[in-house]
Structure 1
Amino acid sequence: MRAGTNPTPTPRRRVALLGGGFSSDDDGLLDDWMLSHVRTDWPRVCFLPTASGDAPEYVERFLDAFRPRRHCMPSVLPLFQRELDNEALRTHLLSQDVVYVGGGNTANMLAVWRVHGVDRLLREAYDRGTLLCGISAGANCWAEGSHTDSFGPLTFLRDGLGLLPGSVCPHYDSEPGRSPSYRSTVAAGSLPAGWALDDGTGALFTDGRLTETVTRLPHARVHRVEPDGRGGADEQALECRPLP
């Protein structure tokens, strides 16, 4: 490096876990919060609907929410009827400011991503500073493991991209059995300690560390769940900034 020159700053690697968004909320607060962390005008936002099998109605809801209402350039990456070759796929994903992953079946989504090499491209995008985010399966996928109903009954999935340490549990307060099942799974060591999101909350991780928690509902919280060393689990409800 020449004297007097400054090194290129290392991009911040960020993941936003969403307990809601365009698919479930009318106010758009969580999506607006997520976009507030993208420091560019007219960000490029790519939706991956893989977990839903690229459901057309889900795609339309995304486009309806992002195309007219927000200053961004939305796009959709289908894999069940894939149109891009490997080079074009890589170019498209790595040109995005945000990759937004939808809900559905976590296990199936991860398997499809690996067949198409999307898992490797998402890791590369993450290292380059693309904001990765998602709801439900789209929140589960970034951690080492997750709590999921991908196989029918609620169970653990010791599989994920591993960009975040630990595990994730979505729908913590809204789906019957989620809370006790996740706590018992962590207590037994089937999943590592992790983060449970009530519907209506958001959690931002920067370089693998939790840096912000928000909520659009007065009662909703992000929870930290860890084994207590006595065969049970400790749970801590974190303070969340209310979204306006």
Structure 2
Amino acid sequence: MKGIFAGSGNAGMSSPYIAAAVISLTRRLPEDLSLLYIGTASYDIAEYRHMQTGAFSTMGVAVRSLDVANKSMPREAMAEAVDEADIILVSGGNTLYAVDRWEYLGLGDLLRAASLNGKVMTGGSAGAICWFDGGHSDSMDPESHRWFKLKNDAADCRPGKAGKGMKSSLFEEGTRSDEETEAETDTDSDEDSKCSSTNDWEYIRVSGLGILPGLICPHHDRVQSNGVLRSTDFMTMMKRHSCEVGIGIDHFAALEIDGSEFRVLSIPGQTGSVDVRDGGGKIPGVWINYVGDDGIVHSKICPRGGKVSDLLQNLKYPAKNLVADKRVKLCRKANPPLED
């Protein structure tokens, strides 16, 4: 499999540095490439598509979107869109909603097959979690839920912004206006938000597509609206999921997988949680968490590169060892997957 998985959706995938790395994995020129953007996790809101595909468009990559968050599409049409893409980019947003929706539509199987056919799979935040066995997710955050996102897309509550209305289409070419470019921010989560709401929510383990083994924590070095540092909560989660290897990806870092090799990417000029030698501050990085025989969670800095087999542990009996989070049912009740 080839892919780049960023700690942040907006800050990561809008970075020219990350976009160039994704393109490099194809071994082809940008103008010869087609990128398929799947924005299910952010409910196909156009603003997020512009943010996360803009760098690719600027470099000459043709961008299309597959919008299935709020409406169905024939399997044949989804299969054609996936087959024609060289790069598949999944948005940040609500991981649980996205994976549930894909499995309901049959898109999950198409994405699993695509990962084996030489396509480059990428995304940040929810778009990083989804390719793995599971992830440390803020899908319980009410501001990540479909009703909240679509309501605030129709009547944007940010100061100085008029209501834009919902923007969604079956297939839409990736373009961006100057106004949309100026509106970008680099402070997203896998459930980015626009307006204030309750902060009384908890991180949960959600399942991904299971293409790669591992439990992913995006925004590893960040505190979100519930006031809890994700890396701290991730350590606690690991105790409940002791058979899994936990991969924490800083907000401005990414994990690149190229077949049997991996590499850690750090967006230049940004800070993170990894100390630089000789007192050079901190850079974005990746951390490996695992539970030892002593029951203690151990955390170490991921090397800058190496063998994927040394990084990701394959469970012998994943169905037996992967533990479901009981709170997922509550989350689905609060933000039910669309079944149309």
**TM-score for the superposition, normalised by structure 2:** 0.62
Q: 2:236 aligns with which of 139, 163, 184?
A: 184
The answer to which structure has the higher helix fraction is: 2
Residue correspondence of structure 1 range 130-169 to structure 2 within 5 A: 130-152=119-141, 153-169=201-217
Q: What's the CA shift for 1:239?
A: 3.7
Long gaps (5+) in structure 2: 142-200, 271-281, 306-340
Q: What's the CA shift for 1:96?
A: 0.9
Q: What's the CA shift for 1:194?
A: 2.1
**Deviation per residue, 1:184-223 (Å, 9 max, x gap):** 211332671121100111112244x551111123511111
Alpha-carbon distance change, 229 to 27 in structure 1, aligned in 2, over 3 angstroms: same
Q: What's the CA shift for 1:66?
A: 2.7
Q: What's the CA shift for 1:55?
A: 1.0
Question: Which deviates further from its counterpart, 212-221 or 152-161?
Answer: 152-161
* Counterpart in the other structure of 1:3: none
Q: 1:57 aligns with which of 21, 34, 47?
A: 47
**Deviation per residue, 1:109-156 (Å, 9 max, x gap):** 011111211101001111111111110100011111110110233333
* Counterpart in the other structure of 1:4: none
1:211 maps to 2:262: yes
Report if the CA contact (8 A) 1:187-1:228 is conserved.
no
Amino acid paired to 1:73:
A
Q: 2:254 aligns with which of 182, 185, 202?
A: 202
* Counterpart in the other structure of 2:105: 116
Amino acid paired to 2:249:
L
Alpha-carbon distance change, 229 to 210 in structure 1, aligned in 2, over 3 angstroms: farther
SS of equivalent to 2:25: coil
Q: What's the CA shift for 1:34?
A: 1.6
Partners of 2:69 and 2:203 in 1: CA distance: 26
Q: What's the CA shift for 1:53?
A: 0.7
SS of equivalent to 1:128: coil
Partners of 1:34 and 1:166 in 2: CA distance: 21
Q: 1:38 aligns with which of 10, 26, 29?
A: 26
1:231 maps to 2:295: yes
* Counterpart in the other structure of 1:24: 11
Identical-residue share of aligned pairs (%):
25
* Counterpart in the other structure of 1:5: none
* Counterpart in the other structure of 1:240: 304
SS of equivalent to 2:44: coil
Partners of 1:52 and 1:65 in 2: CA distance: 19
Partners of 2:131 and 2:295 in 1: CA distance: 27
Partners of 1:85 and 1:158 in 2: CA distance: 27
Report if the CA contact (8 A) 2:38-2:65 is conserved.
yes
Long gaps (5+) in structure 1: 1-12
**TM-score for the superposition, normalised by structure 1:** 0.84
* Counterpart in the other structure of 1:6: none
**Deviation per residue, 1:39-62 (Å, 9 max, x gap):** 122211111110011112112334
Report if the CA contact (8 A) 2:247-2:287 is conserved.
yes
Q: What's the CA shift for 1:171?
A: 0.3
Question: Which deviates further from its counterpart, 57-66 or 46-55?
Answer: 57-66
Partners of 2:104 and 2:126 in 1: CA distance: 18
Partners of 2:61 and 2:129 in 1: CA distance: 25
